[in-house]
Amino acid sequence: MKLIPSLILLLFCTISVVLSQTYPCPFFRSLSLANPPMNGDDIYILQSLLTRTPGLENLALTSNFDQPTQMALTKFQSINNVNSPDGTLDIYTANLILELNSEDGYKDNGQIPPGFLYKVHIPVYKNRSVETTATLYDANLNVLLQFPVRTHGQNDNVTGLAENEFCEDGSTPTGLMTFDLNSPEPDPISFGPYPINRAIQGITGNAAIVISSIRDGILMHTGEWPNWTPSQPMPNSHGCVHGHPTDIDQVQTILSTQLNVAIRQNTYGAMPYTHQPQGILSIELID
């Protein structure tokens, strides 16, 4: 009779060990000084996050785990009271730096940089399950449309929690980025039948770290989502901004007919982006 509770306990222990042995994305491996140095986007993201710790602002973003990176990581560990700081990114340190340094502090300045025809501003909460209101402005900052959006990416399949902005399929990154109107995606079920807006290049904030060299295909679009009605929350994306079909249609109609924004041939993420971006996307955390 005692076998079943012990089995359950054993199962529990096994699950928690599995949890604690998993790197949180975008990290997936132990990072340390080696010869030749380890290299990759995960190291670029690590270096970018380290520069948010006071005193480490000048760390060079080399994508190589070099000696300055080891020293910076050691300093980050000692500032945050990690036991025996050694400049190795283990699972504990990976979780810690994501927890402490993921927020970019980006604040929208209420302006639109010269040369752009439109701006979309999106406030977001830490809890991305809460849908928020996006605002479409023209170049003179007149409000042309306000509409509900969802910026929640995929959930981690181990923890069930929302994946962060640095993960391949995580929440839409905050920050300022260029934006452009592209012809429709070929799959209307997943992307809707209308022209979409594509985030092209991050300028500041987390967007500047990942868009588009690490995370590509961040779009603002809708879908012909099965069994979905406008009274329901929208489905989670893979990092895109989701809007209701009527609103995404309105956006492209306003852009192309009122603001003379050209509908560029969809590049499907091919790099480098060959058109001059016509808009700007500003996403800021407000809690």
Ligand X SMILES: *[C@@H]1O[C@H](CO)[C@@H](O)[C@H](O)[C@H]1NC(C)=O
CB of 119 to ligand X, least distance (A): 27
| Residue closer to ligand X, measured from CB, 98 or 112 | 98
| Residue closer to ligand X, measured from CB, 41 or 86 | 41
Told to check if 231 binds ligand X by CB under 6 A, we report: no
Pattern of binders to ligand X over 39-68, x per CB under 6 A? ------------------------------
DSSP for the chain reads --HHHHHHHHHHHHHHHHHHTSPPTT--S-B---SSPPBSHHHHHHHHHHTTSTT-TT----SB--HHHHHHHHHHHHHTT-SS--S-B-HHHHHHHHHHH--------S---TT-SEEEEEEE-SSTTS-EEEEEEETT--EEEEEEEE---PBPTTT-SBP-TTSTTSSPPPEEEEEEEEPPPS-HHHH-SS-EEEEEEEEEHHHHHHTTTTS---EEE----TT--TTSPPPP-SSPEEE-HHHHHHHHHIIIIIS----BPP-TT-SS--SPP-EEEEEEE--
CB of 202 to ligand X, least distance (A): 23
Give the count of residues interacting with ligand X (CB under 6 A): 4
CB of 157 to ligand X, least distance (A): 4
CB of 124 to ligand X, least distance (A): 12
CB of 189 to ligand X, least distance (A): 21
Contacting ligand X within 142-171 (CB under 6 A):
157
Pattern of binders to ligand X over 113-142, x per CB under 6 A? --------------x-xx------------
Residue numbers at the binding site for ligand X (CB under 6 A) = 127, 129-130, 157
